[in-house]
Amino acid sequence: MGKLTQQLTNLNMQKQAISTKPIRSLEDALAQCQVLGMRVSRQRRFILELLWQANEHLSAREIYDRLNQQGKEIGHTSVYQNLEALSSQGIIECIERCDGRLYGNISDSHSHVNCIDTNQILDVHIELPEDFIRQVEQQTGVRITDYSINFYGYRNSRENSVNC
């Protein structure tokens, strides 16, 4: 393959990666695996089903525990390997936290509400006003193409949480 052809192929691949439609359901996630040529093993399906049911961010350990509680037999290694494969292909979300990684079902860009008292992370889709983005661009000289906001707060009032 000539150099130019190779470059064009790379360009096309990039374009494809960008134009993939957002994953909005378990079915979309399974379809995306097929598009990417990933085998949908029983274990891989278990993990995707759980993340779409749970609708929250879970650690590999929690995913392992929950699946085994449901009577779905899956080994530790299989959980870790599948999470790695799914997140590296952009089918699931992976958040790096100081205490480890968490996985979620939504893979396209979104924002998070971090509950300080419950330690939960909730997904929200926030759209900033166009003016605001222009302002950030003017201040930094960077053309903004994507963003994700972290909100922090208490689910229960602080007085109530003392009793917990």
Query: Given the rule CB under 5 A, which residues bind Zn ion?
Result: 93, 104, 123
- In the bound complex, what is the minimum distance in angstroms from residue 106's beta carbon to Zn ion? 5
Q: Considering the complex, state which of residue 43 and residue 114 has its C-beta at the smaller distance from Zn ion.
A: 114
Residues 16, 21, 27, 30, Cα dihedral to 10°: 20
- In the bound complex, what is the minimum distance in angstroms from residue 21's beta carbon to Zn ion? 18
Kindly tell me the burial class for residue 72, based on how many C-beta atoms sit within 10 Å of its own C-beta (0-12, 13-18, 19 or more): middle
Tell the residue number behind the tokens 């003016």, with chain if given: 131
Task: State the residue number with the nearest CB to Zn ion.
Answer: 104
Q: Considering the complex, state which of residue 33 and residue 102 has its C-beta at the smaller distance from Zn ion.
A: 102
- In the bound complex, what is the minimum distance in angstroms from residue 133's beta carbon to Zn ion? 21
Q: Considering the complex, state which of residue 57 and residue 78 has its C-beta at the smaller distance from Zn ion.
A: 57
> For residue 69, how many C-alpha atoms fall within 13 Å in the half-sphere facing its CB?
7
Report the C-alpha gap between 33 and 44 in whole angstroms.
10
Q: Considering the complex, state which of residue 39 and residue 125 has its C-beta at the smaller distance from Zn ion.
A: 125
- In the bound complex, what is the minimum distance in angstroms from residue 101's beta carbon to Zn ion? 12
> For residue 114, how many C-alpha atoms fall within 13 Å in the half-sphere facing its CB?
9
